[in-house]
């Protein structure tokens, strides 16, 4: 069951600052924890935009 039943859309398209999601970004983009957290804060919750932001760095 979803965390919020009112929420629509695909949750996997979003990224948060939860530890397992930061670890995933660190592994896939090969960046440090600080860079992954900065990317989430700067690019917003869209996983696609976060990956794009990290690619520009």
pLDDT of residue 1: 46
Do 40 and 49 meet the contact criterion of CB atoms below 8 Å apart? Answer: no
CA distances from 5 to 9, 45, 47 (A): 11, 19, 21
CA pair distance 42, 7, nearest whole angstrom: 23
pLDDT of residue 14: 87
Confidence of residue 7 (pLDDT cuts 50, 70, 90): low
Confidence of residue 10 (pLDDT cuts 50, 70, 90): confident
Domain range list for the chain: 13-56
pLDDT of residue 13: 85
Category of 17 on φ-ψ map: left (φ > 0), alpha (ψ -120 to 50) or beta: alpha
């Amino acid at each position: 069951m979803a965390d919020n039943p009112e929420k629509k859309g695909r949750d996997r398209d979003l990224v948060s600052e939860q530890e397992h999601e930061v670890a995933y970004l660190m592994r896939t983009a090969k960046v440090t924890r600080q860079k992954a957290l900065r990317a989430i804060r700067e690019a917003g919750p869209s996983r696609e935009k976060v990956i794009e932001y990290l690619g520009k760095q």
